[in-house]
Every structure is written in C-alpha cells, then in structure tokens.
Structure 1
C-alpha cells in the first residue's frame, strides 16, 4: 500500500461522500466543484491502494476499506480541530467563537442562514468543529441532539419535537396512497438506527397496539442526511423533524400525508457552559440564533 499521507481536503471529501452519497452533494458540502471532489477521491484511493466506495446507480456506498478509512479520517480531522481549539484558547480575542456543530443541523438548517450572521457581525470569527471525542478541548458552545439536562450546561431549545412521516408524492401515489397508519404495511421505511426517529419510536409515542401493521420493508442508512435524500428521491418514507425539511415541504418535493407523525422528546438544543462567563461573540451569536428560531421565511 502506498504510504503517502492524505491531505485534509481528501479526508473531508471522504466524509462528505460517505454522508451524502454523491459527488454533487459532497461538492456542495465542502465548497468544491464536482470535478475537484472526484479528483480528491481519486488521489485518496490511489494513496490507499484500494477503492473506498462501491459505485451503485443509487449512489456511492462505502467499501469495507472505506468504512475503516472513514473511522480513522474522523479521528484525524478531530485531532486537528481539537488542536485548533486549544491554540485559539491561547488568544483572548473576544471576537473569536468556537462552536461544535452537528453535521445534519449545519447542512439542513444553520449554514443556509449563517450568511445573515456574518453580514450583521463581519468582525466575528466563528470556528466550527464537527466531531466529539473524549478529552477534546471544550468549545464555547455546542449544538446537541437529545434530551436535557447535560451536566454543567445551560440549554436553549431550538426545534425537533415535531417529527413528521414524509415521502415523495410520486412514491406515495405509486404505492397506493397513505391516509392512515394502517396503510403503512404497503410502504418501505427509511431509517438511521442511531437517530431515535424510527418506527418503534412512533409506535411508542402514539401507543399503537401490538397488532398494528408494520412497514413492508426497512432500509437503514449510516447517515441521517442519506435518509432525507433517499426520501426526496422516492425510495421510501421517513420520520424527519419538520424544521429540517421546510424547503422540501414548501416546494412539494416531500409531503406529510394526513399530518402523520409524533412528538419526540429528542430535540436539537444550543448549550453553553453554565460556569463560564459568556464572551461578547457568544452573546451576539446566541441572540441571533434565538431570532432565527422564531423567524418565518
């Protein structure tokens, strides 16, 4: 195997491709052209000496080597991000802000809005990290998913309680329509096992009887982003927090037949250390974030 060390750009492309399943979507995530993403992948695979993805008509899927390399790529990038956080803490610059951001929240909600913050506060330097590992330097604040409280943290609710059962209208029509939950037996359900927006969560939330029908088939993905993309592509139904798919619901790319869904206890939160005085940059970002939550456009 070639022992050349891959570039950080190549590692970021690997992660983006694994999460999004296509060079087009990955290019958008890492702010590169599609051809540049393909070149980075080719260089990385040449360095590794094996194919990291299996090419399917439905998109890219990690090979066995790809799964191994992805795990180590995340560790390597987290180490670099952690070093950047530690170095940044040597500076007392009040206009530097370090935030931990969940990839799905950044991709689907925060980043499309973030230009409004930078336009209002152009002197504030926001640095995002995407991975959490034990012992890493603590950021100034973090976006989290789950059920509070978190020890030593104050938490502001963002969204996520309203989870909708959605699908592409063409798919729903093709399968025969979905008016009530008893119709679910005709449909495929798309899930991310590590995210508690699965059929069993809906069953429990709605106290469905044991004899209630189950989806005809389940397809599970390693990344929640792929669940959303597969639903848009008409590959099945999915349970998704409504705020992550506002644009798709407005455009009609996804529909929520019969208003089916459930109220989830697992939500998205913005957390800050309770024992630390917030600096100017964090206070401004927090206030802006709360404005965005109530904004309707």
Structure 2
C-alpha cells in the first residue's frame, strides 16, 4: 500500500469523525479544497462512493461505514507499530477498553482523569457491559473482568479481588424480616444476576462453620445488568449480593442494609485481559500497568472495598 493511500485514509477518517470537510481541514491543517480532492481521489481509487454530500451535511454510505471501521483499525495498527520501535515517541492512539458496569462506576471512571493527564495522546474508547465480548471481532484492546477465568490464548493479569456484600432495602426487611443465617434465604425473595447469552445464574457464596457454601435462593428475580440489579434492590424487590465498592454509598446512606455480614466473606477476582501478540502495543501496555498501580495503591483509599493482589500474568479468558 502506498504512503499516499495511508494519507487519504487518514483524511477520510477525520472527515467522517468530524462530520464536516471544513472541521477536518482545520484539524489536519489543510485547505478545504485539498480535503475534498483527497476524498474524491480515494473514492476513485476504490471505485465506490463513500460519502453522501449535501450543502448542509455529509453522511456515510454503507460502503463508507465498512471502510471507516477497517481504515481506523489499520491506521491504529500502523501507529502502534511505529510507537513500538520508537524510544522517544509517547504512547498514543485510540485505546478500546471494555469493563463491567459496576467496576466502571465504582473504580475506573473516577480515576481515568489521572490516566489522561499522564498520557494525553491516548484517546480512550470505553464500552461497558456485563456481557462477554469478542475482543478480536469488536476491535477491543483489553477487557476488565470479574470472576475466575478459563484458559485460552488471551493473556490475563490479576489486579485484585472485589469484596462482596449481601444486603436489602429497609422496606424489604421491614416487610419480610432479616435472614440470620444463609439457610434462612430459603424463605426470602432474591434479585440475582445471570450472564448474558449463556444465561448462567451467578450463585451466592458464603462461609459457614468454616466451610464455603454456594446458595441460590428459590424465589428469585433474574437480571443481566448490574445497574438493574441495584435498582431492583433499592426498590425492595428482594435481597441482593454484589460488589461492596458499588453498594457502599447506598449502605452508608441507609438506602440498603447489610445482612449476613458474618457469613459473606467471599470475594471475586478482578483481572485485565488482552490478546496474546508478539508485541504489546504501548498504549495497551501503559494502561495495563496503570490499572495495576490503581488497584495496588488505592486499597486504603477505597477503605478496603477492593482488595489488591500481587501481580500475576497467565493465559485466560473472561467467563
């Protein structure tokens, strides 16, 4: 591929993202006619129309949408390669991160400004869900996941463990009473989480008489989103078990009340995963290192809500 084609692709991506030839020209420090000519040349070389143009706006054709995604991935890969072999060039480019909603709210988003200040040339594209993602198909650079991981070609680094808490809204406890032991849950309503496409229900874990116990209350409402899990608990629909770092503000404000505290001692591992490549893109490497620092250094500030763990690296995949 010629250097000129890379230049045309870069101009096309900027026009598409800015939604304007004029704004793209300003960002690229080019004259607008040069930008217009570049897009025309690219369409001629490809033999297809990439954009619909009117006097007021532009929009991408279906071919333009597909080309945009491939062009962005290619340009990012080129940028990563160049950065990997440059000792003076700071990490840069778009970093695509996927994380569970609960960790995004409680841990990652409050600290991201520090990462942006340290690496201003890295643009973060954050997606957040409670479902497993296909990193390769969706172009994700790294994912943060909770729970035990299975072996695969992905590389994982354990960040720490998230403490669990069992709780309910005061209105629910006034109506249904408070369970005193895990066995009492058989007579209670519960709001439980299930994992996306597999529909696997996440069991509740307790320690009783020195032994680990896994329970699944009989009367349950099932949800696949941690935000909805919290909303159901606050609405008094049943008892829930979740990450302490997420539920702590509601516990402190009295909107939720901890139950079975002497039995809820289990914790969920938290890991970051990324593809196994011959080289790790600098933007991914510095983000993974920063995550490890964040989890290790802020255990006290988070008041024990998150338990940092010694670093370890292995091949794994998210459940």
Normalised by the length of structure 1, the TM-score is 0.58
Aligned partner of 1:128 among 126, 129, 133: 126
C-alpha separation in 2, matches of 1:139 and 1:170: 42
Counterpart contact for 1:191–1:227, Cα < 8 Å: yes
Residue-pair matches, total: 213
How do residues 91-110 of structure 1 correspond to structure 2 at under 5 angstroms?
A: 91-92=79-80, 94-104=91-101, 105-110=103-108
Give the 3-state SS of the residue equivalent to 1:147 in structure 2: coil
Find the counterpart in structure 2 of residue 61 from structure 1. none
Structure 2 vs 1, CA of residues 151 and 80 (structure 1 numbering), >3 Å: closer, same or farther?
farther
Q: CA deviation at 1:188?
A: 1.1
Find the counterpart in structure 2 of residue 263 from structure 1. 266
Find the counterpart in structure 2 of residue 245 from structure 1. 247
Higher strand content, 1 or 2: 2
Whether 1:183 and 2:177 are equivalent positions in the alignment is no
C-alpha separation in 1, matches of 2:156 and 2:177: 43
How do residues 216-295 of structure 1 correspond to structure 2 at under 5 angstroms?
A: 217-259=219-261, 260-263=263-266, 267-294=269-296, 295=298
Give the 3-state SS of the residue equivalent to 1:91 in structure 2: helix
Find the counterpart in structure 1 of residue 212 from structure 2. 206
**What is the root-mean-square deviation in Å for CA atoms of aligned residues?**
3.5
Find the counterpart in structure 1 of residue 33 from structure 2. none
Counterpart contact for 1:156–1:269, Cα < 8 Å: yes
Find the counterpart in structure 1 of residue 157 from structure 2. 156
Whether 1:89 and 2:90 are equivalent positions in the alignment is no
Counterpart contact for 1:197–1:240, Cα < 8 Å: no
Structure 2 vs 1, CA of residues 246 and 293 (structure 1 numbering), >3 Å: closer, same or farther?
farther
Post-superposition Cα deviations, 1:254-280, rounded to whole Å, max 9, x if no partner, equal: 33223132525x633102334343343
Counterpart contact for 2:98–2:142, Cα < 8 Å: no
How do residues 6-25 of structure 1 correspond to structure 2 at under 5 angstroms?
A: none
C-alpha separation in 1, matches of 2:93 and 2:168: 41
Structure 2 vs 1, CA of residues 80 and 102 (structure 1 numbering), >3 Å: closer, same or farther?
farther
Find the counterpart in structure 1 of residue 142 from structure 2. 141
Give the 3-state SS of the residue equivalent to 2:157 in structure 1: strand
C-alpha separation in 1, matches of 2:160 and 2:228: 20
Q: Larger C-alpha radius of gyration, 1 or 2? A: 2
C-alpha separation in 1, matches of 2:147 and 2:120: 32
Find the counterpart in structure 1 of residue 172 from structure 2. 171
Post-superposition Cα deviations, 1:19-50, rounded to whole Å, max 9, x if no partner, equal: xxxxxxxxxxxxxxxxxxxxxxxxxxxxxxxx
Post-superposition Cα deviations, 1:120-178, rounded to whole Å, max 9, x if no partner, equal: 33332222345724851553322234423542333222345533222223422332223
Higher helix content, 1 or 2: 1
Counterpart contact for 1:160–1:243, Cα < 8 Å: no
C-alpha separation in 2, matches of 1:228 and 1:81: 38
Counterpart contact for 2:100–2:144, Cα < 8 Å: no
Structure 2 vs 1, CA of residues 193 and 202 (structure 1 numbering), >3 Å: closer, same or farther?
farther
Q: CA deviation at 1:185?
A: 3.5
C-alpha separation in 2, matches of 1:243 and 1:145: 13
C-alpha separation in 2, matches of 1:98 and 1:81: 17
C-alpha separation in 1, matches of 2:175 and 2:285: 50
